[in-house]
């Protein structure tokens, strides 16, 4: 593989992306939601004398790719409503904040970091307002948003749904779980190897619509050939990071990867809703030498 091939910006047709959500084997309702979309500038024709306006190039080159998972928590259907409201709010915010994309990837991209933080807090406010209409319902959700503006990806995290990058045989967990157990480990109170078995491992310390939402935004490079994976804890309760890496190593497509990971989680009990998004831009065969 040439050094330059991994930094050639992929076209829309070169993107291999797939997302799915599953109720699992135990829960009666799926409170997860996901969104996978690309963002483009668009010209809307309201009137013209041209005979065939449909033939005009009305959609511009892709600006960004959005991948978002939300794992609702709450009483009754409150969690599902919280994750739905969060996704709807983020989508609306994306459509209205395209002015900030010009700073993505720049040496100083403070504006873009702030836009992503504001989007998460806007979702937090929207869920809080929705809960006022049904005071007896408890509504909260995780929110993990990955925005790819090649060759960078910005990840916004609230809660414990995860974002991973697999590159050159190594799986890197970009996000850090915002749970009470992980917080104790960060303080040195709980040994790191006991976090996953702790009863506090799935108690959120930060959530959209919860008592407090603390968005964390990070930026990583995404060369062609890397694999991006977003997952709710319905997967990671049953499948370890090492096993996720093994599945990615032998993947044939993003859809096959998502379905294989889903099957593995279901085989091990499927105790929660399971939501996955996988994405990659393979290096073209002609550029692989």
Q: What is the mean pLDDT of residues 235-243?
A: 96
Which pTM value belongs to this model?
0.92
Q: What is the mean pLDDT of residues 273-286?
A: 88
Asked if pLDDT for residue 108 goes beyond 80, the answer is no
Q: What is the pLDDT of residues 145-157, one digit of tens each?
A: 999 999 999 999 9
**CA 64/CA 23 separation, integer angstroms:** 29
Query: What single DSSP character describes residue 215?
Result: -
Q: What is the pLDDT of residue 77?
A: 74
* CB-count exposure of residue 240 (10 Å: 0-12, 13-18, 19+): exposed
3-state secondary structure of 43: coil
How does residue 130 score in pLDDT terms, banded at 50, 70 and 90? Answer: very high
Q: What is the mean pLDDT of residues 128-140?
A: 89
Q: What is the pLDDT of residue 162?
A: 97
Q: Strand 227-231 relative to strand 162-167: parallel, antiparallel, unpaired? A: antiparallel
Helix, strand and coil content of the chain, in percent to the nearest 5, comes to 35, 25, 40
Nearest to 64 by CA among 130, 191, 152: 152
Asked if pLDDT for residue 270 goes beyond 90, the answer is yes
How does residue 31 score in pLDDT terms, banded at 50, 70 and 90? Answer: very high
How does residue 240 score in pLDDT terms, banded at 50, 70 and 90? Answer: very high
Q: What is the pLDDT of residues 175-196, one digit of tens each?
A: 999 999 998 988 989 888 888 8
Q: What is the pLDDT of residue 239?
A: 97
What domains can you pick out in the chain, each with its CATH number? 5-41+60-282 (3.60.40.10)
Q: What is the pLDDT of residue 3?
A: 63
């Amino acid at each position: 593989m040439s050094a330059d091939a991994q930094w050639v910006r992929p076209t829309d047709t070169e993107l291999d992306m797939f997302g799915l959500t599953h109720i699992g084997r135990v829960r009666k309702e799926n409170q997860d939601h996901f969104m996978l979309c690309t963002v483009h500038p668009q010209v809307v024709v309201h009137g013209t004398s041209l005979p065939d306006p449909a033939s005009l190039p009305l959609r511009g080159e892709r600006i960004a790719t959005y991948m978002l998972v939300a794992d609702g928590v709450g009483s009754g259907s409150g969690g599902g409503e919280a994750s739905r409201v969060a996704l709807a709010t983020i989508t609306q915010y994306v459509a209205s904040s395209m002015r900030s994309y010009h700073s993505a990837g720049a040496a100083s991209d403070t504006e873009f970091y702030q836009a992503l933080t504001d989007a998460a807090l806007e979702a937090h406010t929207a869920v809080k307002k929705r809960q006022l209409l049904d005071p007896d319902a408890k509504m909260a959700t995780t929110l993990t948003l990955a925005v790819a503006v090649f060759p960078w990806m910005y990840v916004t995290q609230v809660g414990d749904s995860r974002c991973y990058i697999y590159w050159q045989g190594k799986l890197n967990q970009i996000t850090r779980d915002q749970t009470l157990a992980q917080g104790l480990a960060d303080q040195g109170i709980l040994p790191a190897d006991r976090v996953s078995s702790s009863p506090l491992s799935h108690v959120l310390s930060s959530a959209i619509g919860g008592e407090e939402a603390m968005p964390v935004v990070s930026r990583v490079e995404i060369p062609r050939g890397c694999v991006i994976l977003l997952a709710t804890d319905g997967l990671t309760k049953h499948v370890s990071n090492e096993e996720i890496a093994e599945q990615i190593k032998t993947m044939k497509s993003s859809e096959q990867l998502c379905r294989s990971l889903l099957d593995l989680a279901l085989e091990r009990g499927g105790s929660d809703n399971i939501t996955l998004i996988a994405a990659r831009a393979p290096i073209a065969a002609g550029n692989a030498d």
